[in-house]
Amino acid sequence: MSEALLDAVKFDEKGLVCAIAQDAATLRVLMVAWMNAEALQKTAETGYAHYYSRSRRKQWMKGEESGHTQKVFELRLDCDGDAVIMLIEQAGGIACHTGRESCFYRVWRGGEWQIVDAVLKDEKEIYGHTHTHG
């Protein structure tokens, strides 16, 4: 399976491919992350989304800390082979580390980014701490 799965994928110079998680029922885009070959292979083998964290420099399964796993129903590869989209079922209804349904919770309106989605669960409740971004 590994060869057939990975051959068509055009990983970038860092060995990564863009991965989009989309809700299988609503079709809302929930998050975008990165996969290396190992993460893509684990996703296909287990049926649960695995990613590669560029900041932590390690492969991880979505929900391993939060419990908000992503069950994958379908994997698709775009025409150029440089992006993967997954139709998923999001456990707990929370895909974003901020405790929201989607990472795409800001909308450009009136000359500014406005937050349009509520926090469903506080980040400190989920992880025991707040994530920092640099």
* Domains in the chain, number: 1
- Distance, CA of 36 to CA of 38 (rounded, Å): 5
Cβ–Cβ under 8 Å, residues 23 and 30: yes
- Distance, CA of 8 to CA of 29 (rounded, Å): 24
Residue 123 lies in a domain: no
pLDDT in tens, 105-121: 999 999 999 999 999 99
The full length of the chain comes to 134
pLDDT in tens, 48-104: 999 999 999 999 999 998 999 999 999 999 999 999 999 999 999 999 999 999 999
Residue 81 lies in a domain: yes
Residue 112 lies in a domain: no
Annotated binding site: 78-80, 82, 96, 103
Average pLDDT, the chain: 94
Which residues form the domain of 75? 1-92
Annotated binding site for Mg(2+): 78, 80, 82
pLDDT in tens, 10-53: 999 999 999 999 999 999 999 999 999 999 999 999 999 999 99
Model pTM above 0.95? no
Residue 15 lies in a domain: yes
Rounded to a whole number, what is the largest CA-CA distance in the chain?
A: 49
Please report, for the domain that includes residue 9, its CATH number: 3.10.20.810
Tally of CA atoms within 13 A in the half-sphere of 3 that contains its CB: 0
Annotated binding site for Zn(2+): 79, 96, 103
